[in-house]
Each structure stands twice: as structure tokens, then as C-alpha cells.
Structure 1
């Protein structure tokens, strides 16, 4: 069941957040970020509902075939994947900080006082979190013992 949940999380996360960020890119290009908060809330509710619903349906359908995994190897896989995801998040944040520092070195200003810049910055941070969660789910799947 853990593998199934991880697959659901990975696929739903990539699908829902991929569609959201595609809309964000189109909104930035069109310079119309007015309804972005509603798109974010819809994506958040959609991701939670789809993941919970799909996991519940699969758990109900396969309730008789469910078996407990050995906590040792699966817990070890989750811990390692969590560490990889944390390091990925730290790396992504450092790249963003380096881009800001490099920009200031050349006199470029990332004026975050405008609503547009704040929306873009918020979505960059959201993208880092979503990427980190997808990395965690993918690495946990890769590290789970085969049965």
C-alpha cells in the first residue's frame, strides 16, 4: 500500500501542480495574475482531494490483499529519501539565493514591491516545495525493497 500511495502522490502531484505551473507561466506571459490565488487554492484542494480519494479507493479495493511491509527496509527508504529531498531543497534555495546575489552584483534589481513580482516569487518558492515533494516520493519508490 505504501508503494501505491507513493505512486498516487507522485502522479497526482506532477499532474495537478504541472497544470497549475503551466497556467502560472501563461498568466505571467499574458501579464494577468489577478486570479492566481484562486488557481492556487483549486490546485491545492484538487491535489489533496485526488490523492486522498485515489488512495482511499485503492485501499478499499485491495483491502483483502493488503499486507504489512517490514518497517525496517521501508522506513530506511523513507528516511534516505527524506534526506535526499531536504538536500535538494537546500540546493534549490541556494541556487535562488545565488541568482539574487549575482543579480545584485551586476546592478539588477528584483523589485519585489510590485504585486506581479511578489506573485512570481511566491510561485518560485511553491515550485521548490513541489519539486522537493516529488523528489521525496520518487526516491522513496526507488529505494523501497522489491517484493
Structure 2
């Protein structure tokens, strides 16, 4: 069986695939699951919890930005890097995240992007995403581990 370079390496934003490609994919999968379960339209808030290494070096490595782009429906091998900074700046300016690229929800970076020093048991690159309804009830939650490119 032949192995190509595409089997060895992943395409995506950097500098670290475990800090950007994995978290962006996880967030896009989370959003897709909400859509498939017909819960997306009920979401009014999303909370991001970055643990361990994703928290400690995540901002410098772009984990926070990668998660947000995934929540907006982007995929690491399809995103135009030139669009990232303006969309993140718009989110900071307006406090509105375009969930799945189309559903505006409130996003307060201080409240909704939590950088936690604790490690989860399985792997230091962990994150939990939680979607909430208008009444504050939890619609869905998922924990993801980014184990590398």
C-alpha cells in the first residue's frame, strides 16, 4: 500500500496542528452535530473550555481562534487564512458569533472562552464545548482531545 504526503501531513492553519487543526475540526463537528440533531436554531450561547496545554499555550498557538472559526463552520483544509483576522475582530467588536456561518449568537470572550489550568485525564490537549438554549438550559456538550496532526 502506498502512502502519500497527504496521509502524513494535515492541511490547515498553524503553527501547531494539535492546537489549531484538531480544535477547529472538533468545533466544526460539534456545530454539525447540533445541525443534524435540529438543535442549531435553539442555540443562544456557546461556551468553550480549553484545558491543559490548549489553555497554557493555546492563545499563542491560535487554539482560541481555531475553535471560533470551527464554530463558525470553517474547516482547516478549506479556510482562507486572510479571512480569519477580520472575522475575529468583528466578533470582538460586535460580541456576535455567526454559528455555522449563519446563526448570530451572543459571544462574550471573557465569559465564553475559558482557559483552564487543569488537565483532563486522557490527554493534555482537551476542550469542552457546550451549547445553551435561551433559557440557559444545556442543549449539548462534548469533550474533544487533539492528539496531534
Q: TM-score range by the shorter chain?
A: under 0.3
In proportion to residue count, which structure has more helix?
A: 1
In proportion to residue count, which structure has more strand?
A: 2
TM-score by length of 1: 0.27
TM-score by length of 2: 0.27
Instruction: Work out which structure has the larger RCO, using CA pairs closer than 8 Å and 6 or more positions apart in sequence.
Output: 1
